[in-house]
Amino acid sequence: MRQKSDRSGTPRADALVSRERILRAAEPLLSEGNASMDQVAAAAGVGRSTLYRHFPTRAALATAVAERATDGADDGTAAGVAPIPLLAPAPPLEVTRILEDVPAHLIADQLVAEARRVAGAAVGLYVVDIDGSALVRLAGSEDLPERLNRPPALGPEIVPEGVPGFAARLARTLPRCTVTPLWLRGRVLGLLLCVGAPRAPLDDIAKQGAAALELANDYTDLIESARRRKPTTAAAEVQHHLLPPRIARIAGGQLAGGLLPSYEVGGDWFDFVENRDGAWLAIASASGNGATAAGLSAAALGALRAARRGGRDLVDAVLAIDDVVRGLGDPRFRVTAILARWHAPTAQLAFVNCGHPPARVVSRAGVLSTLAGPRHPPLGSDKRPPTIRVERARLSRGERLVLLTDGVSVRTTRSGGRFGARGLRRAIASASPPTAAGTAMAIQHAVAESSPERLAQDATFVVLAVD
C-alpha cells in the first residue's frame, strides 16, 4: 500500500505515525482472535477510511503486524516510526470477504486500493451515468479524468460489443492508459482505468469488483449518486428501482432494453427474466405522468411478478394486472402492455397485446415487419374481453423481436415530423453488430438525437435477438 508522500517522494510523517498506531493497536487484538477492522480502528484512534487506506484488507494488516514483530526491533529505525514494508503479493479478492470486512460506502475505494497494489500504478474506477452519456469516476486517482464522454452504453450499463471501440478511442486521448472492463453475467458495469500497463492483470479484481459493487449498491447511495449528474424526479427514482438489468443472456438469445428520458421518466417500464418455462418479457405504459404514473406502473409490475412467481401463465398474469389497476378505484387509470414468453427449444414466442403498439420482427436480412395478432383493450379499461387470446409466432435464428412504447413512434424530429416506422428502420439498419444490445443502443441514440427538444413522453424499447 503506498503511503502519502511529499513532493520529494518521502512518506509523510503523519502517515507513518498513523500506520504505527494502527499496528500497535492491532497486535494484541489480532493475537486474541477474530477482532474486526472496526475494533482495530477504534483502538488505534483513527477513522475507518484511514485504516483501509493503510491496510485494504484484514489479511494485509495481519501480514504487516507479523512483519513488524519479526523485523521491527532490528531494522535500525527510530522509535515510533515503522519501516515501509515491500509490497506483498495481493491475496485473491473475495466478494463475500469484501462485503463482510468493508463498509458498503468504502467498497469502491477498497477496490481501487487493491487494483493499485496489483497494477503498481494509478487506477480509477468508473461507472456509467444513468442515461448512458458518460462514465464518471467513482474512486481513484484525481489525475485521471472525472468524466469519459459518450461510452457505448444502455442506461447505466456498457454494451459489451462496444468496449473494444471505446478502448481504442480512449487510447487516442489517453495514450498511456489501459482499460479493464468490470464484467458480470455478460454485462459491463464499469471500467478500471490504469495509467500505463498494469504490473499484473486486473481482470480478477475487475470481475470480483463488479459483483461487489452490484451487491453493495443495496446498502449505500454512493454508487447511484455518482451515476446522477443532476437531480432525478421521484417518478424516475421509482422507475429505475423497478427496471431489470439492461442486458441479459438467456437460452437461445439475448435481451436488452432501454428507457428515455432517464431523469424524468414516469409511466413506462419493461421487465424480463428467465424461468424454467422460458424467458418472460414485457413492456408497458401507464396513463398519466409523474409520480401518479410511476405508482400505477409499480402496482402493475408487482402484479405481473406476483403472478409469474406464483407459477401462473400469461393469461393469468394479464388478468392479475387488470384486477390491480381496476382495484385502484380510478376509472382514468389504464395500462397498455405486451406480455410475452420465449421458449428457445421450440423457437416459440407466445404473446398477448393489451392496447399496446404492435410488436415488430426484424428478419436476418434487416426487413422490419409487424407481428399479427389480436389487440385486447388496455388493462383497467371498461372493455374487459370475455377471453384473453394468446398469439404465437416462431422466431428463427438471426431474427430480432422489437417491442416499443408510443414515446418512440411519436417522437418529434428536427423536420417537424414523427420518428415513426421510418426512424425505427433507419435505427435498426445502423445497429452494428445486430445484437440485442447493439440494436437497443441504436434505437436509443436515434430517438435521443432525432431532435434537440425534450421528449414529450417516455420512450421505452426491448429487443430479443435469437441466436
Q: Structure pTM?
A: 0.78
CA–CA dist 145, 265 (Å, integer): 29
User: Tell me, what's the pLDDT at 431?
Assistant: 94
Class of domain 234-466: alpha beta
Residues sharing a CB contact under 8 Å with residue 40, sequence separation 6 or more, in sequence order? 22, 25, 26, 29, 30, 51, 61
Residues sharing a CB contact under 8 Å with residue 169, sequence separation 6 or more, in sequence order? none
Complete DSSP assignment for 154-197:
ETTEE-GGGHHHHHHHHHHHSTTEEEEEEEETTEEEEEEEEESS
Q: How many CB atoms lie within 10 A of CB 449?
A: 11
Q: Which CATH superfamily is domain 13-88 in?
A: Tetracycline Repressor, domain 2 (1.10.357.10)
Residues sharing a CB contact under 8 Å with residue 450, sequence separation 6 or more, in sequence order? 411, 412, 413, 414, 419, 423
Buried b (16+ CB within 10 A) or exposed e, 167-191: bebbeeeeeebbbbbbbbeebbbbb
Domain ranges for the chain: 13-88, 98-226, 234-466
Which residue in the block uniquely carries the three cell numbers 414485457? Answer: 282
How, if at all, do strands 134-140 and 123-128 pair? antiparallel
Task: Assign 67 to helix, strand or coil.
Answer: helix
Per this entry, what is the length of the chain?
A: 467
Helical H segments across 33-75, by residue range: 37-44, 48-54, 58-71
Helical H segments across 255-385, by residue range: 290-309, 314-327
User: Tell me, what's the pLDDT at 62?
Assistant: 83
Output the furthest CA–CA distance in the chain (Å, rounded): 90
Which residue in the block uniquely carries the three cell numbers 477498497? Answer: 110
Residue 248 to residues 159, 187, 256, 355, 372, Cα–Cα distance (Å):
11, 7, 6, 27, 26
pLDDT in tens, the chain (467 residues): 444 444 444 444 556 777 888 888 788 777 656 677 877 777 777 777 778 788 888 878 888 888 776 654 444 343 344 443 434 444 556 776 777 778 899 999 999 999 998 999 999 999 999 989 999 999 999 999 999 999 999 989 999 999 999 999 999 999 999 999 999 988 999 999 999 999 999 999 999 999 999 999 999 999 999 999 888 888 888 888 889 999 999 999 999 999 998 777 678 999 999 999 999 999 999 987 788 888 999 999 999 999 999 999 999 999 999 999 999 988 889 999 999 999 999 999 999 999 999 999 999 999 999 998 899 999 998 777 678 999 999 999 999 999 999 999 999 888 889 999 999 999 999 998 999 999 999 999 999 999 888 887 889 999 999 99
CA–CA dist 284, 320 (Å, integer): 14
Dihedral sign computed on CA atoms, order 258, 264, 268, 274: positive
Dihedral sign computed on CA atoms, order 337, 342, 347, 352: negative
CA–CA dist 419, 428 (Å, integer): 13
- CA 277 from centroid of its chain's CA atoms: 26
User: Tell me, what's the pLDDT at 102?
Assistant: 86
Question: Is the domain covering 98-226 a CATH 3.30.450.40 domain?
Answer: yes
For 44, list phi and psi in degrees, rounded to 5: -85, -10
CA atoms within 13 A on the CB side of 126: 29
